[in-house]
Structures are given as C-alpha cells and as structure tokens.
Amino acid sequence: MDRSRRPVGRVGACLAIAVAWIVAGCGASTTVGPATPSPQSARGPGPEASAAATASPGASASATAGAGAVPHVVVIAMENQEAAGLIGSPYAPWITRAASTYGLATNYDSITYPSQPNYIALTSGGTQGVTTDRPVTLTVPDIVDELAARGLSWKAYIEALPAHDKLAQASANGLYGRQYDPFVSYRDIQASPARMARVVGLSQLSADLATGALPDFAWITPDQCHDMHGVRVAAPGAPTGAGAAPANPCGFQQTRADLIRAGDEFLATWVPRILESPSWTPGSVVFVTWDEGNGVDSRGCCDAVPGGGRVPALVITRPAVHVVSTTAYNHYSLLATVERLLGVPCLGYTCDVQHVHPMLDLLPRPGTGGAPG
C-alpha cells in the first residue's frame, strides 16, 4: 500500500490548481491497477517560508516559461545518497558548486524504500502499490498520458538500456535495472510501439542536443556506474555463467567515494551540455534528485510519512539563480512543478494542493532577470 494520505478529488483538486494558476499567473512481473492509498499515519510539515528566498510555495505561479512558450523540462534521477553526505563532499565538487550556484531544496525527502516506488511516484503521482524492485505493469495514468493529451513531446534517455529487450529486468553486465526506468512499467507505454520508441539509450541525447531536438520533457537515468548506486559484481574466483554476478563493468573499484565521484562527473558532463544546447529556451529547467536515502533515514513529508529520507534536489536554470528553500518538498512536489511548467493536469498526490506544493520558490520569475518566484 502507498503509505500516504488519500488525495483530494481529482477533478476538484485539478480545478483548484487551474484557478490558482489564473489568479497567480528482481522477480516475476506482476500487473497492478490503481492503488487505493491508506490514510497517512502522520502529517508532514506544512509549507514554510524559504530561508534564502522571500517567496512562499504559493508565490507566483507565473514561474513558467512565460509568453506562451513551452519550456524544456529535464529530470535526472540519481541513486541512494542523502544530502548531508553529498553536498560538500570532496568527491562531489560539481554538485557542491551547483548547490551554491542554482536552486537547492534543503528540506526535500524521497517517498519510500526501495528504489522503484520512488520512480513510479515521480512519474505518476503515487507509488501505485509498488513496494519492491521487481518488474511490474501498471494500468494507471502517468506523465506521458498528460503530455500526449497536450501534444507535448517527451523522451526517456536510459543509459545502458538493452535495445533488444526494453522490458528486460536487467542487462547482462548489470549496468541497467528496469526499476530505474519507470516508463516501461506503464501498460499504456508498453502497448504502444510509438511510445516505446521514445524510451531510448543515452547516446540519443547527444544527437538530440546537437540538433536542437530535445523534447519538451526529458528524463535521464544514468547506468549503475554513474548514478552512484554501483553494480553487484562477482568476487574473484566466483563461478561464472547464467545467473552469476558479472565482472565489474565500471572500470573502478566502486567504493562509495568512487561512485560519488563517477556520478558527479556524469552530471558535470551532461548538465552543461543541456544548458548550452540549441534546444534550450527561456524558462527551461533541469531537476536533479536522488531516488532515496541510505535505508535508515525515514524522514518524509507531503503525503508520504514516513518517507525515504532527506535527499538532495537541485533546480538548475540559465541564467543561474541561487536560492535556497527550506520548504518541505518531496518527489510529488517535483512532479507538481513539472506539471505546472508544462501546463498539464495533476496526477495522484500532486492534486493535493493542501499538502503538496510545487517548488515555485526555486524558479525564476519571467521578466525579473532571474529573481526567484
């Protein structure tokens, strides 16, 4: 069961968001239908004022592309790091600089443990009853449905994606895990060759950036050498063959320091390429977050208490705007922000406008020269 509060009625809540907009400006596969969330056991903290920005969560819904333009929204999903051990780490110089250059949410929690329900939450507004990393097929609305209804383009760029079998649970070398690719777990995507064709390898991102073909919504999942997770590898002298752990594909020892360094270098490579791409338009945003914490921290908020721990969340724009928000946010808040930026309806818990707030205080207001919303 989704450890969360029952969302308010979908039609009424989404109408409320629309009004606010106008006023403010791994194992066998299983099939899961829409989950009925149980009542939240404890209420997450209410909205608080930002420490470094004066805006509140409800401030300036006009923190979108403005002037009718649709921005490009990019989400990069990293793995298994908590904010306290990452920002300021000597192994993460780019992330540390980004935290002092761009938007930083310091009170941002993941939804739960393990990984997969967090990815489902980020793309559907709920964990949909998913509690493991085993493959699932979900018959629920997702962000792709919302984008398609508005005629917006999208792609999921998945590093090490098995091109011959996009529904595989894992790649032979261990670099790809299906639990980190939420798109292939939705039936509406699985059943559509056109939609499945938009789940592509990371190499396609280079081509799309070079030609100005970045879609309106882009999702990026690094492989397990670059997402800070790591790959389970065979011990020296261990048996080989079917079912055996692969040899280390990462080219480094996979200590925690090594994994953080590799993830930091991944972001240092790709984020600047995105920002400098011909596709970049005013109001475009790159979100970087981590799926869950260290497995011990259960802090949560915003219709997910207990949660999956305090993780970093960076909001990257050009020109750079440095603002630090202490408002309680989580993955539902990030999805709500994506929905607001792209002008699509709410999904699941993002419709709960009382407890889940879009991260508007971390976005620049149009026409302000980069001032936060």
What CATH code is carried by the domain that includes residue 174?
3.40.720.10
> Letter for the amino acid at 249?
P
Give the tens place of pLDDT for each residue, 162-220. Answer: 989 999 999 988 899 999 999 999 999 999 999 999 999 999 999 999 999 999 999 99
In a domain, 100, yes or no: yes
Where do runs of H (alpha helix) occur along 151-255?
187-190, 193-196, 203-210
In a domain, 371, yes or no: no
Give the tens place of pLDDT for each residue, 339-361. Answer: 999 999 999 999 999 999 999 99
3-state secondary structure of 304: strand
Structure-model confidence comparison of residues 150 and 69, the more confident one? 150
- The pairing of strands 154-158 and 217-221 is parallel
Domain residue limits at 345: 10-26+35-236+246-362
In a domain, 1, yes or no: no
Q: What is the pLDDT of residue 192?
A: 98
Which helix (H) or strand (E) is 20 found in, with range? helix 10-24
Q: What is the pLDDT of residue 70?
A: 73
Q: What is the pLDDT of residue 98?
A: 98
| Rounded-to-integer distance, Cα 279 and Cα 273, Å | 10
In a domain, 112, yes or no: yes
Q: What is the pLDDT of residue 294?
A: 84
Q: What is the pLDDT of residue 268?
A: 98
In a domain, 241, yes or no: no
Contact 35, 6 (CB under 8 A): no
Task: Reply yes or no: is the peptide bond before residue 114 cis, omega within 30 of 0.
Answer: yes
Q: What is the pLDDT of residue 39?
A: 32
| Rounded-to-integer distance, Cα 244 and Cα 237, Å | 12
In a domain, 372, yes or no: no
Give the tens place of pLDDT for each residue, 64-104. Answer: 444 456 789 999 999 988 888 999 999 999 999 999 999 99
Task: Reply yes or no: is the peptide bond before residue 319 cis, omega within 30 of 0.
Answer: yes
Whole-prediction pTM value? 0.82
In a domain, 370, yes or no: no
In a domain, 4, yes or no: no
Q: How many domains does the chain fold into?
A: 1
